[in-house]
Amino acid sequence: MSVPTILVIEDDSAVRQGVVDALSYAGYEVLSAADGRAGREAALTARYDLLLLDLILPHYTGFQILEALQDQRAGQAVIILSAKGEENDRVKGLKMGADDYVMKPFSARELLARVDAVLRRTTERHALGEKVEVAQRVIDLTGAEITYAGKRHELSEREVGILRYLIANPNRPVPRDELLRHVWGIDPNRVETRTVDMHIAHLRKKLGDTAQEILETVRGRGYRLALKS
């Protein structure tokens, strides 16, 4: 099994070196860039498994790099390295396709835990592919639709995000707070909302899951997609 390669784009030399050292010590192959221009070039052309991306960069911003990735390397795993107080930027980054964010200052232990989690989810997602069949329903994440019994049901971007996250985390219930954070980019500690429950209800309707046996509620723990059904 090959060692994952991680690209680090960070203009603060002390932060960049600390991240590179922590990842190297943990056994990862590491590439790095010190500004947006070199970072964008590496992000679009280098071979790597995960990008650690600062948002505020000279020449090209992290958002511009994310936009280029959406066009040329859709689905690329990205963790945002975000300064405290940039909550709106973190939300924007997550909506643009980033998988997670780590708030500065962060410990090496926290960073490595996030890196491991995103790489694990990415590996599972690639293994599953963009079409998944469950209980005679075909979930097409790329086409944003569910097909069963000869009928097609279109999915919203948020519904695709929920299904993608549940598929990438098989065999465990995913809490509402986790869905809010990773699909909506919302800090669950700062907002009270029923949007997750509403979207789950809509998904069940499109799945024809009146008995809630496909998209299960595990009391007190969260939601689970019954992929083995």
5-125 and 129-225: same fold?
no
Q: What is the pLDDT of residue 171?
A: 72
Place of tokens 């097409």: 140
Q: Which two tokens stand for residue 35?
A: 């500004």
SS3 183: helix
Q: What angle do CA 80, 159, 177 make, to 5 degrees?
A: 55
Looking at per-residue pLDDT, the higher value among 1 and 82 belongs to 82
**CATH 3.30.70.260 assigned to 5-125:** no
Q: Does this model's pTM top 0.85?
A: no
Residue that wins the pLDDT comparison between 201 and 121: 201
According to DSSP, residue 144 is labeled T
Whether the predicted pLDDT of 129 surpasses 80: no
Pairing type for strands 215-218 and 5-9 reads unpaired
The answer for residues whose C-beta is within 8 angstroms of residue 100's C-beta and 6 or more apart is: 79, 80, 114, 117, 118, 182
Q: Where are the domains of the chain?
A: 5-125, 129-225
Q: Quick check: helix, strand or coil at residue 216?
A: strand
Which tokens go with 181? 């954070």
Percent of the chain predicted with pLDDT > 90: 42
pLDDT at position 36, please? 95
3-class DSSP assignment, residue 217: strand
Distance CA 99, CA 76 (A): 9
pLDDT at 90 over 80: no
Q: Confidence band (pLDDT; 50, 70, 90) for 84? A: low
pLDDT confidence band for 167 (50 / 70 / 90): confident
> If pLDDT is split at 50, 70 and 90, which confidence band does 126 have?
low
Closest CA to 50 of 140, 126, 136: 126
- Express each pLDDT in 96-110 by its tens digit: 888 888 988 899 999
The two tokens of residue 104 are 């500065």
The pLDDT of residue 229 is 43
CATH number (3.40.50.300, 3.40.91.50, 2.60.40.10, 1.10.10.10) of 129-225 reads 1.10.10.10
Q: How confident is the model at residue 130 (pLDDT cuts 50, 70, 90)?
A: low
The confidence band for 172, taking pLDDT boundaries of 50, 70 and 90, is: confident
CA torsion through residues 134, 178, 211, 195, sign: negative
Q: What does the pLDDT read at residue 185?
A: 75
Amino acid identity for residue 134 in this structure: V
pLDDT at 156 over 70: yes
Q: How many residues belong to the chain?
A: 229
Q: Residue 25 belongs to what H/E stretch? A: helix 13-25
- pLDDT level of residue 141 (50, 70, 90 thresholds): confident
